[in-house]
């Protein structure tokens, strides 16, 4: 019989593994409690991540870095500002320039000095960026710095980054954590013909060997919200059919998760405590997460398929428009005001973010496999069915019917 001490030990290790999978770079400053647990179980975590997922984990005195490999395009999530707006290409450029300048920076420097170094690095690369003189450049520069601060690469020592965003003459000083700066880029770029060539070199989604193939399968299950069988190559489908139970058992041992295995595909289900750990993306309490959950519930009730199993149900653009409008009406706005935020979010922004979230979590698919392109061509996918049957908006659907437990007959992913 497993003792209570053993159960607690296993739970600690699995919680640490979930944290690293969600946040591959954690530090003693950004995640003090999580980092302490990672350090105490570092040997187990290093060995298990290497064996189960083929990932390298480095645990240093003040930070831990999980270097992922094998999946790039399918699991890449854009960086975002605190407002939820995604990084622009200019902001990504400032992030890269800041890293280049910080690698050899002193332990302490002013933001003004870093801005000058960024301008010099940009000029060397043939870019006309100068965050010292242009408000737009300064905002992108500060957004990049805020992200680096969130990763623990820099820490404001005097003043705030907001001070510099408002006034380039503000005397803001940073403490630079050079070892963390060097760990931000897990796989430093090497000489390639172009960026696409570099990304292709990092991909290894469908290796031919049995051992490598099983590792790739476990990566796909761990990193992809829902793995749909129809999206796989014939070799991947065959591998999933033969090894899915073993893969799920390995991941359950590492992450403490369950799995839903259906005809349409497989989804890992994290334990209840993962929500309080903030290691799950959906459902969430922020405005976009609330809107996404409400939208899924309404679409399930309105578009319930007539046969099961089905991989997905097309969502007419008019229906999507109507349901999005219903979700962000006055009643939904009052709910947001009571819980997540103290102001009413911009309806257009919330709608776009909710759709991106549903696309990223495998509950809906945008036109052409991307979350862009307006409201035409969206599909409600099978995994969304697990969120049906909860009358959270007065018990009526967009079509005027009750949202019963059989609102969608397609199986979950």
Q: Using only the alpha carbons of the chain, give its radius of gyration.
A: 23
Pairing of strands 312-315, 378-381: antiparallel
Give the per-residue pLDDT at 177.
96
- The low-confidence residues of the chain, meaning pLDDT below 70, are 1-5, 71-76, 191, 199-205, 274-281, 305-310, 330-347, 373, 389-413
Give the per-residue pLDDT at 204.
62
Write down the CATH number for the domain with range 89-184.
Answer: 1.10.10
Give the per-residue pLDDT at 400.
32
8 Å CB contact between 276 and 282: no
Q: Which CATH architecture has domain 287-387?
A: Orthogonal Bundle (1.10)
Give the per-residue pLDDT at 2.
59
pLDDT (tens digit per residue) in 309-338? 567 889 999 999 999 988 887 444 555 555
Give the per-residue pLDDT at 4.
63
8 Å CB contact between 309 and 263: yes
Q: How far apart are CA 357 and CA 78, in angstroms?
A: 11
Contacts of 28 (CB under 8 A, 6+ apart): 35, 36, 62, 63, 152
Give the per-residue pLDDT at 309.
57
Q: For the chain, how far is it from start to end, CA to CA, in angstroms?
A: 34
Look up residue 13 and give its two tokens.
């290790």
Helix (H, G, I), strand (E, B) or coil at 175: strand
Give the per-residue pLDDT at 1.
47
Give the per-residue pLDDT at 335.
55
Look up residue 14 and give its two tokens.
């699995």
Residue of 242, 213, 237 whose CA lies nearest to 227: 237
Give the per-residue pLDDT at 353.
85
Write down the CATH number for the domain with range 210-275.
Answer: 1.10.10
Q: What are phi and psi of 113, to 5 degrees?
A: -65, -40
Give the per-residue pLDDT at 256.
93
Give the per-residue pLDDT at 392.
47
């Amino acid at each position: 019989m497993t003792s209570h001490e053993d159960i607690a030990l296993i739970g600690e290790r699995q919680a640490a593994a979930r944290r690293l999978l969600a946040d591959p770079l954690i530090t003693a400053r950004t995640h003090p409690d999580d980092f302490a647990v990672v350090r105490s179980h570092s040997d187990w975590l290093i060995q298990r991540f290497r064996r189960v997922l083929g990932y390298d984990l480095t645990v240093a005195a003040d930070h831990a870095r999980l270097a992922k490999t094998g999946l790039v395009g399918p699991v890449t999530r854009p960086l975002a500002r605190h407002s939820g707006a995604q990084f622009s290409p200019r902001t990504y450029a400032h992030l890269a320039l800041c890293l280049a300048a910080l690698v050899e920076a002193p332990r302490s420097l002013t933001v003004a000095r870093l801005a000058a170094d960024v301008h010099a690095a940009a000029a060397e690369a043939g870019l006309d960026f100068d965050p010292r003189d242009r408000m737009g450049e300064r905002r992108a520069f500060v957004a990049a710095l805020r992200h680096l601060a969130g990763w623990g690469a820099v820490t404001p020592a005097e003043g705030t980054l907001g001070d510099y965003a408002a006034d380039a003459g503000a005397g803001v000083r940073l403490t630079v954590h050079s070892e963390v700066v060097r760990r931000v880029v897990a796989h430093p770029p090497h000489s390639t013909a172009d960026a696409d060539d570099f990304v292709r070199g990092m991909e290894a989604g469908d290796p031919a060997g049995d051992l490598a193939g099983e590792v790739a399968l476990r990566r796909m299950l761990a990193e992809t919200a829902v793995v749909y069988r129809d999206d796989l190559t014939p070799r991947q489908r065959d591998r999933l059919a033969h090894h899915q139970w073993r893969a799920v058992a390995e991941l359950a041992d590492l992450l403490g998760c369950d799995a839903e295995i259906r005809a349409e595909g497989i989804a890992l289900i994290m334990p209840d405590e993962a929500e309080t750990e903030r290691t799950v993306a959906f459902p969430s309490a922020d405005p976009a997460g609330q809107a996404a959950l409400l939208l899924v519930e309404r679409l399930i009730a309105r578009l319930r398929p007539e046969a099961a199993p089905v991989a997905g149900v097309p969502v007419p653009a008019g229906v999507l428009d109507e349901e999005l409008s219903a979700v962000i009406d006055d009643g939904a706005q009052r709910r947001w005001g009571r819980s997540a935020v103290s102001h009413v979010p911009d309806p257009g922004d919330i709608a776009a973010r909710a759709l991106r979230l549903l696309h990223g979590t495998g509950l809906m698919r945008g036109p052409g496999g991307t979350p862009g392109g307006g409201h035409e061509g969206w599909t409600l996918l099978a995994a969304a069915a697990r969120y049906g049957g909860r009358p959270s908006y007065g018990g009526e659907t967009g079509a005027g019917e009750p949202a019963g437990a059989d609102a969608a007959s397609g199986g979950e992913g």
